[in-house]
Amino acid sequence: MRSLNFDGKLPLLYLVATPIGNLDEVSPRTLSIIKEADLIACEDTRVTSKLLNFFSISKPTISLREHNEVSEAENIVLKIKQGTKVVYMSDAGYPCISDPGSKLVKVALENGINVSTISGPNAGLNALVASGIDSDHFYFYGFLSPKDKERKDELKKLATREETIIFYEAPHRIGKTLKDMASILGNRKACLARELTKRHEEYIRMNLEELAQLDSETLIGEMVIIVEGAKLEAKKELSDKELIAIANKFIKAGLSAKDAIRETSKITGVNKNRVYDLIHK
């Protein structure tokens, strides 16, 4: 379906990106859209109230969080259909990016409601462009699992990605996460960015092993971790010894022999049967 967002034929839901720390980063258009709204749907009404009060804006708010997103999405869509002008904002950054909002967008679109985004800050991109690590190609992963085994399994699957990887992490898990990254991903270049746009903003540019040795008590606030991608050999005519070494890298990263053979074949262009024969000599 094709439809113009601003031709007035369909109701519209605005997704508003909010500051990740410094409230002065709110744009004039953001303030204009909020002031025109009849209702502010948000992740946490207490957090959003601080933003509204800072700009002397008084609007009714309604909470749409992870635990009630499905039910409240239906409620909000009904209000929009009845003519209520609604914006949705999460606590910081973009809705739907490691935050609630995606279910609301899905329900809105299913009900013939257009969706538009009001641009604003994003912690992952802020950290990436200032990290000093390649930003030509990157892969956003967000939060790893809080469970030890699942987190390690996730990192093993990510170990062969050649793009720079963007992670989010909370302070109470940062120590374990950095140690797992160093162990599974190897001693890659990395950058830990914390307290972005706030007074104590800090970028820590080190290798993963060095980051893993930091005192986690000194790492306060929500954090972004930028990690250099895997350095894999380019496709070329490779010797048996080189092919075995590449496959062993994948196995060391946690892949099964079958998956290591498949990935080796993919990046080198060498037939899987040849790689299989070398691994199973």
Domain covering 124-227 in this structure, CATH number: 3.30.950.10
Instruction: Write out pLDDT tens, residues 195-204.
Output: 999 999 999 9
What does the domain layout of the chain look like in residue ranges?
12-121, 124-227, 240-279
Q: What's the chain's average pLDDT?
A: 93
Digit-coded pLDDT (tens) for 219-240: 999 899 999 999 865 445 788 8
**Token output for 70:** 């499905």
Question: How far is it, in rounded angstroms, from Cα 265 to Cα 273?
Answer: 9
Cβ atoms 30, 51 nearer than 8 A: no
CATH of 12-121, one of 3.40.1010.10, 3.40.50.720, 3.30.1330.60, 3.50.50.60: 3.40.1010.10
Longest pairwise C-alpha distance within the chain: 73
Q: Report which of 98, 86, 156, 160 is spatially closest to residue 124, judged by C-alpha positions.
A: 98
Average pLDDT rounded to a whole number, residues 186-193: 95
Given a cut of 90, is residue 270 above it in pLDDT?
Answer: no
CB 232 within 8 A of CB 162: yes
For the segment 22-45, what is each residue's pLDDT rounded down to a tens digit?
999 999 999 999 999 999 999 999
pTM of structure = 0.80
Looking at per-residue pLDDT, the higher value among 264 and 126 belongs to: 126
267 versus 185: the higher-pLDDT residue is 185
pLDDT of 66-107, one tens digit each?
889 999 999 999 999 999 999 999 999 999 999 999 999 999
Q: How far apart are CA 49 and CA 252, in angstroms?
A: 49
Give the integer Cα–Cα distance in Å for 21 and 47.
12
Dump pLDDT digits (tens) for 127-144.
999 999 999 999 999 999
Cα(204)–Cα(162) distance, integer angstroms: 22
Structure tokens, 6:
């601003």
pLDDT, residue 232, reads 66
What is the average pLDDT across 246-254?
A: 90
Q: Between 172 and 268, whose confidence is greater?
A: 172
Q: Report the percentage of the chain scoring pLDDT > 70.
A: 98
**88 touches 64 (CB < 8 A):** yes
Reduced to 3 states (helix: H, G, I; strand: E, B; else coil), residue 117 is strand
**Of residues 99, 125, 93, the one with CA closest to residue 224:** 125
Mean pLDDT in residue range 48-58 = 96
The rounded distance, in Å, linking the Cα atoms of 229 and 159 is 8
The pLDDT value recorded for residue 235 is 47
What SS3 state is found at 274? helix
Closest by CA position to 15, among listed 73, 81, 75: 73
Q: Which of residues 118 and 216 earns the better pLDDT score?
A: 118
The residue whose two tokens read 């162990």 is 183
